[in-house]
Amino acid sequence: MTIYIIRRVLYMIPTLIAISILSFVIIQLPPGDFLTSYVAQLRQEGDIIDESQLESLRVRYGLGEPVYVQYGKWISGIFLRGDWGQSMDWQKPVKELIWERLGLTMIISLSSLLVSWFIAIPIGVYSATHQYSILDYTMTAFSFIGLGTPGFMLALIVLFVLQNQFGMNVGGLFSEEYINAPWNWAKVVDMLKHIWVPMAIVAVNGTAGNIRITRANLLDELNKPYVETARAKGVKESKLIWKYPVRVALNPFFSTVGWSLASLVSGVTLVAVVLSLQTTGPMLLRALTTQDMYLAGSFILLLSVLTVIGTLISDILLALVDPRIRLQ
């Protein structure tokens, strides 16, 4: 096991290097560079940009240099100094930007992930064990609606209803007076008043999917001989279900840890855009469209690291949960 883990960790290094090079190159592939969109912005706002200023900016951002030089600067900064570069769009260090937003992002993603599991697993189990009952049909109908409704659409509807019917201040996670206030109890309460909206919206989609997965997997397991055997031996029905087939049916949850980790950071982008949340998703999206390459590159690198680590974790978890899986 230990050797397996060490080997996997070593494999991660070339993988990450390859990913970082690829992502840096891909970010640069579209025509133009950050300056193109920046200058377009400036021009639109009436700044008169003459060639001399343009040249100054180009030198400043090192945009005239070949891609490999730019990449070398960026990656050596990360490894040697922990410096992720400067966001050209935000005019701030990338590290600071990502950290600022990571906390809230994690809270929303993690809590909605947990909420969706806590709701989905019992319902999924109930649906499977009471297949074709009225409640099963009802739950199935709900989960199809949940699956079929895009999160951003739901967000728009919820926003409108909250604003129109309840006069609630929408968008963002705080009321205006608390945004710049230091953290205190009142601010936490204010956040709780707002945070359930994105949490609920994100959880709806996740829950719907998870109900279907749990139900389908459990149905596969329920007819297997070991279930019959246990039942024949007189194991209590509830204990039997929860201890054996459910455990196996949950395998997909563990095997998806790989990308859940990354989606904790980048997930729910569309919902966050619609709700104007200060999370990392919209920032990544923006960084990509404006070709803010150090910010976008750092994000992608971070996401790749999380995915690679997540995959490792999921492999280990699977082995622990399901004794049938052996690590070679």
Partner 1 sequence: MRKLVNRGVSRREFLRVSALAGAGVVTVACGSAGEPAPAAAEPAAPAAAEPAAAPAAAPAAATSQYSEAPMLAELVQAGSLPPVDERLPSNPMVMPVAESIGTYGGTFRRGFKGVSDRWGPTKHVDRLLVWYDQSLNLQPRIAESWEVNSDGSEWVIHLREGMKWSDGTALTTADVMWWWDNIQNNSEVQPGGPSAWMTSGAENTPATVEAVDDYTVKISYADPKPLLPYSLTRQNRDFFAPGHYLAQFHNDLTEDKAALEAAVNEAGLNDWTELFDAKRYWYSGGETPMLGGWRAMNELSGELFEMERNPYFFAVDAEGQQLPYVDKISHRFFEANDVFDLRIINGEVDFQSRHVQTPNFTLYKESEEDGGYQVFVGKSSGHVAMQLNLTTPNDQLREFFNKRDVRIALSIAVDRDALNELVYDGLMIPRQYSPLSVSAQAYPKQANAHIEYDVDAANALLDGAGYAEKNADGMRVWPGTSDAISFIIEGTDAAGSVTEDAVNQIVKYYAEVGISAAYKYSERSLYTAHYEANEIEAAFWGGDRTVVPLAAPIIWTCEQPDRPWAAAWALWKTTNGTNPTGQEPPADHWVWNIWGLWDQIQAEADPAKQNELFFQILDIWAEELPMVGYLGEGPTLIIVKNGVKNYLPGFPVDDPTGDEHLLNTETYYWEA
Contacting positions for partner 1 (CB under 8 A): 30-32, 36-37, 39-41, 43-48, 50-56, 59-60, 62, 83-86, 89-97, 100, 156, 159-160, 163, 167, 169-172, 174, 176, 179-180, 272-278, 282, 286, 289-291
- Taking CA atoms, 198 is separated from 5, 93, 100, 205, in Å, by 37, 28, 19, 11
Alpha carbons within 13 A on the beta-carbon side of 80? 7
Nearest distance in Å: CB 17, partner 1: 22
Residue among 230 and 272 whose Cβ is closer to partner 1 = 272
Q: Are 113 and 264 in contact (CB under 8 A)?
A: yes
Q: Which residues contact 137 (CB under 8 A, 6 or more apart)?
A: none
Residue of 1, 29, 275 whose CA lies nearest to 152: 275
- Residue with Cβ nearer partner 1 (95 or 193): 95
Burial of 278-306, coded b for 16+ CB within 10 Å and e otherwise, reads ebbbbbbbbbbebbbbbbbbbbbbbbbbb
Structure tokens at 137: 């049909």
Kindly tell me which of 84 and 254 has the beta carbon lying closer to partner 1.
84
Separation CA 40–CA 45 (nearest Å): 9
Shortest CB 305 distance to partner 1, Å: 19
Q: Quick one: 163 or 238, whose CB is closer to partner 1?
A: 163
Instruction: Provide the minimum distance between the beta carbon of 79 and partner 1 in the complex, in angstroms, as a whole number.
Output: 14
- E strand or H helix at 80: none
Closest approach, Cβ 67 to partner 1, in A, equals 17
Please answer whether residues 273 and 150 qualify as being in contact, where contact means their C-beta atoms are separated by less than 8 angstroms.
Answer: no
Nearer to partner 1, 156 or 319 (CB): 156
- Least distance between partner 1 and beta carbon 290 (Å): 7
Between 70 and 307, name the residue whose CB sits nearer to partner 1. Answer: 70
Least distance in angstroms from the C-beta of 39 to partner 1: 8
